Amino acid sequence: MTTMVKVAKLAGVSISTVSHVLNGTRNVNDETRQKVLKAIEETSYRQDALARAMRRSRTDSIGLIVSDGGEPAFAEMIRGVEETAASQGVTLLLANSAEDPQREARAVQALLERRVDGLILARVAGSGLDAISEFANHETPLVLMDRLSEDPYDQVGVENREPIRELVQHLTAQGHERILLIAGDTRVATLRERHEAFTEAMAAAGIPAAKQLAVAAHDSKETDAGIRKALGAAKPPTAVIACSTVLAAAALRQIQQRGLRMPDDIAFAVFDGFAYADLFEPQLTTVRQPAFDVGSTAAELLAKRIADKSREPAIVRLAPVIEYRASTGPAPA
Amino acid sequence: MTTMVKVAKLAGVSISTVSHVLNGTRNVNDETRQKVLKAIEETSYRQDALARAMRRSRTDSIGLIVSDGGEPAFAEMIRGVEETAASQGVTLLLANSAEDPQREARAVQALLERRVDGLILARVAGSGLDAISEFANHETPLVLMDRLSEDPYDQVGVENREPIRELVQHLTAQGHERILLIAGDTRVATLRERHEAFTEAMAAAGIPAAKQLAVAAHDSKETDAGIRKALGAAKPPTAVIACSTVLAAAALRQIQQRGLRMPDDIAFAVFDGFAYADLFEPQLTTVRQPAFDVGSTAAELLAKRIADKSREPAIVRLAPVIEYRASTGPAPA
DNA sequence: CTGAAAGCGCTTACAG
DNA sequence: CTGAAAGCGCTTACAG
């Protein structure tokens, strides 16, 4: 492998000079610079980012740990982070915890050992401060993404409450009272917020908590059972709000099995939705998350934090867009 | 930051010994080891992977460049690579070229500078050997993923021809003759193979190339126009095979607009398909790619290549599974 | 069983 | 405008 020594010899200068023309860190006589550039060309020299990072104690790399790489929304966030990082000349180290606290802890460890300049973390559901506690005594910048918390870190996620409120209003305005919320695993912060907003919005519409319908469960089996029970009740729901894509798929399967027509037999809306929601029959009312922007905002916040570690933690909530479609009847004015 | 020097001092040993207990590279007196372990604990020492990598000239990291991080299939491949890499104790550096040769070249450069132990590359469409030529004089192991080529590297992709043949047989057996192939950008190796297989299979079914219907185009606008023209023809196709998810979406939109019913007015099949194909009405016949396995196989091949640079390049083709559903009529026996 | 020392490939004061 | 040299935090022969 070519190193600076070889380049310097060929150009007849010191390695200091090679380094400085490479990095533009001091004035170099134009003739000298040309010689160096030529030598670099001839030897097809490539800088060693590792050695450079070690000397500068800065790697120009960031880590990203997602809790569920299989979810389309996370795939989008990854793209957002990658694109912004690339535009900053920063390399992205990616890990997927797959909702496993152990894998999350190992990933944090591995990325910290690699001396990333900062870390973006979408935490696994239900894990306490475990992974984060690594950062308590640690100076590595951290940004929480999507899975937010009360901790004093920079955070980016979407606004979960307002869209649910709007959805509930949209449905109650059409006379729906028995609205079923498929809430999923409410240990996940995003899902918990959606559930809470539902409870409040329904109460505000005059439907007390005791009369509200919701399926909150830790796994898909429980969820399926909950949906089955709800749909098969003597007084089944006339509308469904699913709090995630997976939950929506589970509900739609049972709705199809029962031969229920949307929106006449049952209205249907989904938070986060399907990649091609417009191809469904009927088209599905969807709360579309700006997932790409969540990712790129996370990368931006991290860059700012790296540049200035003493700034106030920022908490950013991006607004989803509700796309009203046929599955919930006529769109609001 | 705690370094080995601090640990060594605290434990009253040399840094050699600390290094050896850390890596298990030589026998250490049990008492001594305990002292070192205790010192590591107390100082919450964490190894510096950069310094280690520099000394060993091995980073235990690999790079992955995908050509389109937005495609669900690529998201799955990323997951496959990540999971296998993690299980090997290898960190993944991810870049997305977004079908832009410039970004691809920059990513190759950045990852090489970072001294990744190897690289997995899904090349952008239509780029020549540009990105790959970096490897000609370079000893960094390279595995080609999904977007294969004639070059002498390890490669993993799916079998593209056989599923298309089967699909064509399935359709012609039902009497279809005017089958429209939405081929997309045939500069992409996968799409080119599907197109070629279609041409051959149709000819084998007695339909000469001159009478075959296909839309091959470089961008979505051209594709949309091609589909519009084909569907609006005097003798429109009675069946459609879409060669990718995006292409299928484009076709389905126009099919819905025209109010065509599947499979009666028009049969429909898709290569690579939608995340929740079973929720479509009717359910769509889909060639499901083992995308996750493509990713994990790529990571495995790369590990083997890193371990033994002189082995013969392997070319692996994973078989997709055809899921026959209502959109192409009754499934074959 | 253990330690002193060289060296991986850079950056960056320091000196001229 | 340029160079000699220290040092980033490790691993690994070499020596005892």
What is the dotted CATH code of the domain comprising A161-290+322-328?
3.40.50.2300
Other Cβ atoms within 10 Å of B153 Cβ, number: 19
Q: What is the pLDDT of residues A275-303, one digit of tens each?
A: 888 888 889 999 999 999 999 999 999 99
d(CA A252, CA B39): 57
What is the dotted CATH code of the domain comprising B57-158+292-319?
3.40.50.2300
Crossing angle of helices A30-43/A4-11, nearest 10°?
A: 130
B204 to chain A nearest CA, in Å?
A: 34
Residue B136's pLDDT is what?
64
Residue B129's pLDDT is what?
53
Q: Which nucleotides of D are covered by protein (CB under 7 A)?
A: 1-5, 7-13
Q: Is A233 on the interface with B (CB under 8 A)?
A: no
User: Do A4-47 and A161-290+322-328 show the same overall fold?
Assistant: no
Rounded to whole angstroms, the distance from the CA of residue B168 to the C1' of nucleotide C1 is 72
- Is pLDDT at A330 greater than 90 in this prediction? no
Other Cβ atoms within 10 Å of B173 Cβ, number: 11
B279 to chain A nearest CA, in Å?
A: 7
Residue in A46, A112, A281 closest to B46 by CB? A112
Cβ burial, residue A87 (10 Å; 0-12/13-18/19+) = exposed
Q: Is A260 on the interface with B (CB under 8 A)?
A: no
- Residues 68-87 of chain B with CB under 8 A from chain A are 69-70, 72, 75-76, 78-79, 82-83, 86
Using the C1' atom of nucleotide D11, identify the protein residue whose alpha carbon is closest. B55
- Is pLDDT at A208 greater than 60 in this prediction? yes
Residue B128's pLDDT is what?
59
Residue A271's pLDDT is what?
95
> Would you list the domain boundaries of chain B?
4-47, 57-158+292-319, 161-290+322-328
pLDDT cut 90: percent of chain A above it: 83
- Is pLDDT at B281 greater than 90 in this prediction? no
Average confidence (pLDDT) over B132-142: 76
Of the CA atoms within 13 Å of residue B279, those in its CB half-sphere come to 26
Chain A neighbors of B103, CB-CB under 8 A? 86
Residue B317's pLDDT is what?
97
Residue B130's pLDDT is what?
61
Residue B150's pLDDT is what?
86
- Is pLDDT at A130 greater than 70 in this prediction? no
Q: Is B193 on the interface with A (CB under 8 A)?
A: no
d(CA B91, CA B111): 12
Chain A neighbors of B273, CB-CB under 8 A? none
Question: Does the beta-carbon distance from B106 to A92 stay under 8 Å?
Answer: no
Is A216 within 8 Å of B246 (Cβ atoms)?
no
The DSSP result for A208-245, as a single string, is: -GGG-EEEE-SSHHHHHHHHHHHHTSSS--SEEEESSH
> What's A269's DSSP letter?
E
d(CA B62, CA B295): 13
Question: Does the beta-carbon distance from A94 to B82 stay under 8 Å?
Answer: yes
Residue A128's pLDDT is what?
59
Residue in A50, A61, A109 closest to B53 by CB? A50
Residue B206's pLDDT is what?
93
Question: Does the beta-carbon distance from A110 to B95 stay under 8 Å?
Answer: no
Token pair listed for B28: 């250490």
d(CA B52, CA B48): 6
Q: Is B22 on the interface with A (CB under 8 A)?
A: no
Average confidence (pLDDT) over B267-278: 90
d(CA A118, CA A141): 5
- Is pLDDT at A231 greater than 60 in this prediction? yes
Per-residue CA distances from A215 to A225, A243, A251, A288, B279 (Å): 9, 10, 11, 22, 21
Rounded to whole angstroms, the distance from the CA of residue A55 to the C1' of nucleotide C9 is 9
Average confidence (pLDDT) over B140-154: 92
CB distance under 7 Å to strand C: residues: A 1, 3-5, 15-16, 19-20, 22-23, 25, 45, 47-48, 51-52, 54-56; B 12-17, 20, 26-29, 31-33, 51, 54-55, 57
Chain B neighbors of A91, CB-CB under 8 A? 93, 95, 110-111, 114
Mean pLDDT (chain A) is 93
Token pair listed for B233: 């023809």
H or E stretch covering B130: helix B130-133
Is B230 within 8 Å of B213 (Cβ atoms)?
yes
A281 to chain B nearest CA, in Å?
A: 6
- Is pLDDT at B82 greater than 70 in this prediction? yes
Fold of A4-47: 434 Repressor (Amino-terminal Domain) (1.10.260)
**Can you name the residues that pair with A286 across neighbouring β-strands?**
A270, A323
Per-residue CA distances from B297 to B62, B83, B107, B145, B291 (Å): 14, 11, 22, 9, 10
pLDDT cut 70: percent of chain A above it: 97
At residue A41 the predicted structure's pLDDT band, cuts being 50, 70 and 90, is: very high
Residue A194's pLDDT is what?
97
At residue A139 the predicted structure's pLDDT band, cuts being 50, 70 and 90, is: confident
Describe the strand order of the beta sheet including B267-271 as a list of residue ranges. Answer: B213-216, B179-184, B239-242, B267-271, B285-288, B321-323
Rounded to whole angstroms, the distance from the CA of residue A17 to the C1' of nucleotide C13 is 14
d(CA B131, CA B108): 7
- Is pLDDT at B22 greater than 70 in this prediction? yes
- Is pLDDT at A133 greater than 80 in this prediction? no
A-B interface: how many C-beta pairs under 8 angstroms?
141
Residue A289's pLDDT is what?
94
Is B16 within 8 Å of B26 (Cβ atoms)?
no
- Say which amino acid occupies A99: E
Q: Which parts of chain A are beta strand (E)?
A: 61-66, 91-96, 118-121, 142-145, 154-158, 179-184, 213-216, 239-242, 267-271, 285-288, 315-318, 321-323
Residue with tokens 């219907």: B213
Question: Does the beta-carbon distance from B82 to A95 stay under 8 Å?
Answer: yes
Is A326 within 8 Å of A263 (Cβ atoms)?
yes
Crossing angle of helices B4-11/B15-23, nearest 10°?
A: 100
Average confidence (pLDDT) over A228-241: 95
At residue A273 the predicted structure's pLDDT band, cuts being 50, 70 and 90, is: confident
**What are phi and psi for residue A243, nearest 5 degrees?**
-85, 0
- Of A327, A276, A269, A245, which is closest to residue B252 (Cα–Cα)? A276
Question: Does the beta-carbon distance from A50 to B46 stay under 8 Å?
Answer: no
- Is pLDDT at A129 greater than 60 in this prediction? no
Average confidence (pLDDT) over A179-187: 95
Question: Does the beta-carbon distance from B86 to A78 stay under 8 Å?
Answer: no
Fold of A58-156+291-318: Rossmann fold (3.40.50)
Average confidence (pLDDT) over B273-289: 89
Q: Is B154 on the interface with A (CB under 8 A)?
A: no
> ω before B263 within 30° of 0 (cis)?
yes
Per-residue CA distances from B44 to A159, A166, B39 (Å): 38, 49, 8
Residue A275's pLDDT is what?
85
- Of A116, A111, A109, A68, which is closest to residue A90 (Cα–Cα)? A116
Residue in A78, A253, A279 closest to B252 by CB? A279
Residue with tokens 């832009």: B100
Question: Does the beta-carbon distance from B49 to A115 stay under 8 Å?
Answer: yes
Residue B214's pLDDT is what?
95
Optimal mutation site among A50, A106, A245, interface B, most CBs of chain B within 10 A: A50
Residue in A79, A274, A275 closest to B96 by CB? A79
- Name which of A32-46, A98-112, A306-320, B119-133 the model is least confident about: B119-133
Residue in A50, A92, A278 closest to B94 by CB? A92
Question: Cβ neighbours of residue B218 under 8 Å, at least 6 residues apart?
Answer: B185, B187
- Is pLDDT at B143 greater than 80 in this prediction? yes
At residue B70 the predicted structure's pLDDT band, cuts being 50, 70 and 90, is: confident
Rounded to whole angstroms, the distance from the CA of residue A271 to the C1' of nucleotide D5 is 62
Residue with tokens 């929740």: B276
- Is pLDDT at A134 greater than 80 in this prediction? no
Using the C1' atom of nucleotide D2, identify the protein residue whose alpha carbon is closest. A17
Average confidence (pLDDT) over A183-210: 94
